[in-house]
Structure 1
Amino acid sequence: MKGRHRPAGSSGGALKLGAAAVAVLVVLAGSWYAFNKYSKPACGNAAKLSIGASADISPALKLQAAEWAEQAKDNGNCVDIEVFDEDPADVAAALAGKADKSLTGVGQANGKTRIPDVWVADSSLWLQRIRAVNPDSVKAGAHSVALSPVVLAMPEPAATKFGWPQKNITYADLIASLAANQGTKIGITEPSRDATGLAGLLTLASVAKQAGGGNATQATQVATTALRALAAGRSSVRSDLIQKFPRGSDQQAISTSLTVAPLSEQAIIQYNGQQPPVRIAAIYAEPAAPPLDYPYVVLSADKASMADELLKSLQTQDFRDKLGAIGLRGADGAPGKGFQTPANAPGALAAAAPQLPDAGTVETLLQQWQAITLPARMLAVLDVSGSMLEPVPTAGNATRMQVTLEAARKGMALFDDSWSLGVWTFSTLLDGQKDYKQLVPIGPLVSQRAQLVQALGGITPKKNGDTGLYDTILAAYKAVQSGYESGRINSIIVMTDGENDDPAGGLKLEELIAQLKAVADPAKPIQIILIGIGDKVGEAAMRQITDAVGGGTFVAQDPSKIGDIFLQAISLRGQIAQKK
């Protein structure tokens, strides 16, 4: 059978033609790739957006922001998003500072703190605290972008003694263990600067107050015991607290290490992910503490449109999966891909907004905390002039002296044994020619608490006594100065219901200030805290004194509120600026 004749070389020509066509296609494809790549916006003038975020969530935010920016670029929009870690306490301090205010226990912002266009703090508690002092700084309606419940963290051997995992452990169980002195070592991160610590403190304090079974005195004692236990085990930052958990599995290591601390679920997931010798159990105790809910807050109005568009991408499954990889849940409480659910944890949490206590409750508790935790050496000086016998209608007609002494007793009950405290009284001619009298010298509470309680119980006003205020202040200042202790806040707290009134003469205001300045030693600062009781105090003169030498003036127009004012004054000792 004969085949068709094929011209010599025709096969080679076809191959050459095919190769040329492929080359053309490659060139064209390369040209299209180059065109597509370089025809995108050059982004020389990209719109910029800065996001300051809690370090807990910033890794997920950085990944999502980078992807969103790239998608925007593909759509012809140039955006430049910077996500940086910023301590929520520092941002909160900076926002409060814009209104010349400060948050209890936080003080001034770090000098390097930036106020971003968008702020993602770890908890809405920060927003609540800021609005209480600067209502216009943070708008309402912030959206949560993640969730991590605040749980009780326990080494698993310790948790089993409480009945875990079969028993549902409660905060009441923990309170009972502390009250019974069963060797439970509780820790907490500084609640004035850490939202996890604050959430745990709020819950523990609330449960402790209910533990008295209707007996107010017993409830106060239980709450005080709990607060003191927390204060003894506090850490400045979360990483230090976590290091207090057992580093070995032997009984000695477990018995001498931290037993329990409120921590975020994320912190426990990440800790156990490091394969420690003793794993930490996450106890989802009742009542549930306010969770970390990571509110997304737009602080720059001119960036609101771009910020809102980015927010939409933070509500996707893709972002939930990024959160899951770092131990956080989605904003609705459901976990994403890669989330390592702790034993006995709910698969999903309620999506309802966290129920936060009102700002007043938070502030009062933090003031109590500050009163307990700041190391102190203090001289309390109480007015016993005749006007302190006046009844207080808003306090059931108890006298001014009675409400003042009750405030002093309650305050002293909060102070732990590391405090040093002394008590004077003053009026006119109380001790010979002196207008003041020492009842108990300044000394450690560990050895003279009972003596101080007894002294307070025996104080009665001098019926016809006047108010030798200025001579008393100078003498008290010198007394505190003579025994000055470094490493403590050395202070005088004077509680009075009247202006300086000394028929025998004594110092004038200008003379007092001049003498205080003359004896003051900048290396040994002493705070003078003056508390006015009622509406007849010489507030202007009192402020001149404290402004001149360092301290603060507080006035309870309604004497029945003296307890709150006393607590506020004590709690602010560490924040009152020292004047040179």
Structure 2
Amino acid sequence: MSRHRSLRAKVRRGIAKWPVAIVVVVVLIGLGWGAWSWIGGVLDRRAQAQAQDCNEGDSVLRVAATPSVAEAVAEVARAWSVTRPVVYDHCITIEVISTDSSAVLDGLTGTWDSGKLGERPHAWVPDSMLWANRLSALNAKLVGGAPKSIGTSPLLLAAPEAGAPVLKEFRWTDMPEVTDWQRYGPNWGRFSVAMPDPAANTASALAIQAALAGGKGPVTADTLNSDAAKASLTKLAATVPPEVPTTTREALRRLGDSATVNAAGFSVTPVSEVDLYKHNTGKEAPSKPLVGVLPVGPAPVADFPYVSLSGPEVGEAEERAAQAFREFMTEPGQQKLLAHGGLRVESTQDRPSPSPGVSWSPVTENLVAADATTTQQLSAAWASADRGGQVVTVLADVSTSMKPRLDKVKAALRGQVDRSVSGSFGLWEFARSVDGAKPYKQLVGTGPVAEKREALRRAIDGLKTFDGSQLYTSLGACYEAAHDGYVAGRVNRVLVITDGSSDGGIDLAALKSALKGKDLPVSFIAIGGEVDRAALTDIAETTGGSVSVVENEGGVEAALGQVLSTSA
């Protein structure tokens, strides 16, 4: 019996395991297939649902970004595309265009050249609110929503490797005062800061602001009107080297190609941290990286705003998509991508590595930025100091429709006269019968502002309104006088402030035939919606000028600063 039980036990233990394994595998395969089918069904249903949500078709969101961050913005755009965004029943694809901020501003406010710039964008990432403010000053209706910073970058001084260590005590307020390297020890001769045109280069604009702030800021209109500010601007303009590069990028290239200190014709140049990082690591990186010096004291900061654009070229789907992408860019995961691209963001301390020449020094205090209007005034004040200043002849509309607007126009003109450090200024007025039968009158002949400041103030204060508005006849006379008084080697311009169209006198064709070419640009500040913008644009393009459109007289001061801060 015991043997029989033993045999039966052996038989039980000897049952084969492979049939059980097969069953388990089959069950698992079945469960896996079912799960895969379920997941696939969910994905299919989701795709079908999204396809149904895209019943308005596809739409492309185009974002223009300043070159230093265009690659990082494009990386964020790819991450957004993975989410298959749908806005207003449109499937959104996104395209990021790397374009200089000055080119975008010129295109948005003038004629957009799609051959050079690509298709017109629906959103814009310049390197500073300076550009958004300028766009608002030229045409506020093109700004679709409140700009939002996607990251920041402090301003540095880019210096050759040998020069950087001795500048560790440098302050931005030293720029107007320091003229020799011996201030810091070395006998390297003249110390000069290359300041490419601040109207087109953010780093220069921020550096000038920091030089005048005298502390944590902000620079105000009262600051600019002070004798101390005028003296500082005069000194700073005097320290600028004879041949200034047109762009910060070119200034960096010349510094990087120089074997010794001052071999570039200047000593240092201001630059944002991210721009220096890109310069030192890009395709055309110098053999020896330039070194970024963070000056002592409050640091001016480029704030890289995301600007949703508006206007007839921006549809509702693109406008909503631009806003949605803006919010996506500020999420922590996307901020990390921007940080890897060289921007500073609050959600991470990540920094690119390697980063030759850039130490990512901690910033203990930011300079408080000037407001939008003061920023424009500061650029114009610099333009009046640099290279002896501009030659500006103003033609002011004093027709009856200007009556409720005239006080603001007077204040803007008076402020510009008071802030002007050098250069020449003149004033004309026009309506219909202002000077006997003539629709225009020269109130102050164009001449050195330092000599004519009091006469200009009196003439501005005495402006009053008349009937009619013979713009074309008046502009023709003003233009001829300004052309006869043209000063070689300076920026010469005629600036017209008006709120209406021409209602008599010569016609547009006759005026254009009288204009003598593009050596004397005519720029317009057009107030309100009654102006003939097409005609003004025609005149401006014929002469190489510009048209700034402001909704009301409150925008005149900022627009005036913007126009007079440009080099053409």
Q: 2:369 matched to 1:356?
A: yes
Change (3 A) 1:453 1:329: closer
Q: 2:63 matched to 1:54?
A: no
Tell whether the 8 Å contact from 1:205 to 1:226 is kept in structure 2 after alignment: no
What's the CA shift for 1:515?
13
Change (3 A) 1:179 1:302: same
Instruction: Choose between structure 1 and 2 for higher RCO, CA contacts under 8 A separated by at least 6 residues.
Output: 2
Change (3 A) 1:327 1:158: same
Q: Deviations over 1:173-202 (max 9, x none)?
A: 332224999523422444323433322232
What's the CA shift for 1:238?
3.9
Change (3 A) 1:69 1:569: closer
Change (3 A) 1:44 1:356: same
Instruction: Give the RMSD, CA atoms, in angstroms.
Output: 6.4
Tell whether the 8 Å contact from 1:69 to 1:79 is kept in structure 2 after alignment: no
Alignment-mate amino acid for residue 131 of structure 2: W
Tell whether the 8 Å contact from 1:328 to 1:335 is kept in structure 2 after alignment: no
What's the CA shift for 1:303?
4.1
Alignment-mate amino acid for residue 315 of structure 1: P
Change (3 A) 1:338 1:14: same
Select the residue among 342, 346, 359 that pairs with 1:327: 342
What's the CA shift for 1:151?
1.4
- Gaps (5+ residues) in structure 2? 9-13, 183-188, 310-317, 396-406, 428-434, 436-440, 459-471, 497-502, 526-535, 549-556
Tell whether the 8 Å contact from 1:325 to 1:337 is kept in structure 2 after alignment: yes
Match of 1:172 in 2: 173
The aligned runs of 1:4-19 (5 Å cut-off) are none
State the SS of the aligned residue for 1:262.
Answer: strand
What's the CA shift for 1:362?
0.8
- Gaps (5+ residues) in structure 1? 6-10, 383-393, 395-399, 416-420, 429-434, 443-448, 462-469, 495-508, 532-545, 555-562, 575-580
Match of 1:36 in 2: 39
Change (3 A) 1:26 1:215: closer
Q: Deviations over 1:82-139 (max 9, x none)?
A: 1413547369748x96xxxx5xxxx6655545342x5444323334444455279354
| C-alpha distance in 2 between matches for 1:474 and 1:81 | 50
Q: Deviations over 1:421-473 (max 9, x none)?
A: 999xxxx9xxxxxx99xx99x9xxxxxx9xx98999999x9xxxxxxxx9999
| C-alpha distance in 1 between matches for 2:202 and 2:320 | 29
Select the residue among 254, 259, 263 that pairs with 2:267: 259
What's the CA shift for 1:234?
4.5
Tell whether the 8 Å contact from 1:481 to 1:524 is kept in structure 2 after alignment: no
State the SS of the aligned residue for 1:57.
Answer: helix
State the SS of the aligned residue for 1:241.
Answer: helix
Match of 2:463 in 1: none
Q: 2:253 matched to 1:243?
A: yes
| C-alpha distance in 1 between matches for 2:388 and 2:112 | 22
| C-alpha distance in 1 between matches for 2:290 and 2:257 | 11
Q: 2:328 matched to 1:310?
A: yes
The aligned runs of 1:172-211 (5 Å cut-off) are 172-178=173-179, 183-206=190-213
| C-alpha distance in 1 between matches for 2:360 and 2:384 | 36
Change (3 A) 1:294 1:18: same
| C-alpha distance in 1 between matches for 2:7 and 2:505 | 130
| C-alpha distance in 2 between matches for 1:129 and 1:471 | 30
Change (3 A) 1:328 1:245: same
Alignment-mate amino acid for residue 125 of structure 1: L
State the SS of the aligned residue for 2:158.
Answer: strand
Identical-residue share of aligned pairs (%) = 17
Tell whether the 8 Å contact from 2:336 to 2:348 is kept in structure 1 after alignment: no
The aligned runs of 1:97-246 (5 Å cut-off) are 110-111=113-114, 112=118, 114-116=120-122, 119-132=124-137, 134=140, 137-140=143-146, 142=148, 144-160=149-165, 163-164=166-167, 167-178=168-179, 183-206=190-213, 220-227=230-237, 229-230=239-240, 234-246=244-256
State the SS of the aligned residue for 2:208.
Answer: helix
Match of 2:361 in 1: 346
Match of 2:75 in 1: 63
| C-alpha distance in 2 between matches for 1:18 and 1:153 | 71
What's the CA shift for 1:146?
1.9
Change (3 A) 1:22 1:407: closer
Alignment-mate amino acid for residue 280 of structure 1: L
Change (3 A) 1:44 1:564: closer
Select the residue among 286, 291, 303 that pairs with 2:301: 291
State the SS of the aligned residue for 2:211.
Answer: helix
Change (3 A) 1:180 1:349: closer
Tell whether the 8 Å contact from 1:154 to 1:280 is kept in structure 2 after alignment: yes
Q: Deviations over 1:365-393 (max 9, x none)?
A: 222344567999969799xxxxxxxxxxx
| C-alpha distance in 2 between matches for 1:70 and 1:377 | 52
| C-alpha distance in 1 between matches for 2:17 and 2:416 | 105
Q: Deviations over 1:474-532 (max 9, x none)?
A: 898668768989998665799xxxxxxxxxxxxxx98899998597365566557999x
Tell whether the 8 Å contact from 1:188 to 1:233 is kept in structure 2 after alignment: no
Change (3 A) 1:187 1:32: farther
Q: Deviations over 1:247-302 (max 9, x none)?
A: 25356xx5335421111112222333467333322221144343122334555664
Match of 1:506 in 2: none
| C-alpha distance in 1 between matches for 2:124 and 2:505 | 51
Change (3 A) 1:528 1:109: closer
| C-alpha distance in 2 between matches for 1:205 and 1:330 | 27
Match of 1:413 in 2: 422
**Taking structure 2 as the reference length, what is the TM-score of the superposition?**
0.57
Change (3 A) 1:37 1:296: farther
Change (3 A) 1:487 1:222: closer
Aligned residue pair count = 458
| C-alpha distance in 2 between matches for 1:125 and 1:174 | 21
Match of 1:542 in 2: none
Tell whether the 8 Å contact from 1:332 to 1:349 is kept in structure 2 after alignment: no
State the SS of the aligned residue for 1:169.
Answer: coil
